[in-house]
């Protein structure tokens, strides 16, 4: 079943999120040629309309082309109507998420490397744990607390950077602050949104993860060339513990 949709609104919603046509195709699960054809002709299948509606958090009928009389009456503010129907949530935009991941992932990998190898020494983490909690704790609980103390500040700082980016670009979190609109949605819409967000997360995570791995390899290489003898001994002990645990 095919229907006519307002391609202008579709294009404006895509550009509002700073997506290219290929990125929109990625998060909706449609092909690039399908997205290009729909934006050009305004003709889309019911499944495609549902995919767009799930991504942009709209009711499918919001994208359908209005009658001629309605178009003439609402031509000046059709975009405002659609934007007002969007359920605002405290969600970072794609650009902000990628910025936050690009900051958090490499920093967390370096922090974990420092925590487990003690190269350089990170006694401040253990000191903070001993200040806040009892010294007599199971080893696995102490490990969880150490990881939290080490990674939580990095997560908060990287998230703040993403929020500042959205506020600067007036998107994402900025839309939530401006609108503050809540709208209930059924279970089917929730599952559809979950599926869409998982595809979006995989798309957003790929580039920062690759960047983090390359940066971690470079960091380890630089540290390896500048380590003192006692630091090399700590590193060998760390590798031996990993190999022993795997056996």
Q: What is the pLDDT of residues 87-103, one digit of tens each?
A: 556 678 888 888 899 99
Specify whether the CB–CB gap between 79 and 86 falls below 8 A: no
CA distance 169 to 227: 43
| Single pTM value for the model | 0.47
Give the tens place of pLDDT for each residue, 166-220.
Answer: 888 887 777 777 665 445 445 566 677 778 888 888 888 888 888 888 887 888 7
Q: Specify the domain boundaries for CATH 1.10.260.40 within the chain.
A: 2-85
Q: Is the peptide bond between 225 and the residue preceding it cis, with omega within 30 degrees of 0?
A: no
In the predicted model, is pLDDT for residue 144 greater than 70?
yes
Q: How far, in Å, CA of 36 to CA of 28, rounded?
A: 13
pLDDT score, position 229: 79
CATH superfamily placement of domain 2-85:
lambda repressor-like DNA-binding domains (1.10.260.40)
Predicted local distance difference test score (pLDDT) of residue 156: 92
For position 95, what pLDDT does the model report? 85
Yes or no: say if 63 and 4 are a contact pair by the CB < 8 Å rule: no
Over residues 6-26, the mean pLDDT reads 85
Radius of gyration from C-alpha coordinates of the chain: 24
Q: Which residues contact 223 (CB under 8 A, 6 or more apart)?
A: 113, 119
**Hey, what's the torsion of the CAs at 176, 177, 183, 188, to 10 degrees?**
20
């Amino acid at each position: 079943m095919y229907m006519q949709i307002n391609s202008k609104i579709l294009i404006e919603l895509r550009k509002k999120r700073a997506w290219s046509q290929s990125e929109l195709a990625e998060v909706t699960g449609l092909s690039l040629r399908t997205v290009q054809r729909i934006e050009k002709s305004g003709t889309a299948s019911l499944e495609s309309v549902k995919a767009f509606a799930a991504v942009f958090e709209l009711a499918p009928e919001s994208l359908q082309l209005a009658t001629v009389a309605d178009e003439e009456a609402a031509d000046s503010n059709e975009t405002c109507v659609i934007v007002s129907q969007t359920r605002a949530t405290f969600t970072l935009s794609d650009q902000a998420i990628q910025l936050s991941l690009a900051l958090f992932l490499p920093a967390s990998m370096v922090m974990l490397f420092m925590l487990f190898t003690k190269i350089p020494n990170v006694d401040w983490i253990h000191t903070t744990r001993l200040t806040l909690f009892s010294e007599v704790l199971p080893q696995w609980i102490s490990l969880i607390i150490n990881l939290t103390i080490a990674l939580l500040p990095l997560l908060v700082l990287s998230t703040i950077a993403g929020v500042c980016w959205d506020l600067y670009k007036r998107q994402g979190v900025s839309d939530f602050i401006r609108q503050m609109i809540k709208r209930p949605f059924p279970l089917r819409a929730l599952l559809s949104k979950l599926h869409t967000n998982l595809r979006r997360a995989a798309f957003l995570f790929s580039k920062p993860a690759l960047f983090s791995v390359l940066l971690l390899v470079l960091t380890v290489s630089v540290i390896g060339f500048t380590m003192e003898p006692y630091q090399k001994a700590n590193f060998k002990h760390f590798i031996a513990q990993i190999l022993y645990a795997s056996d």
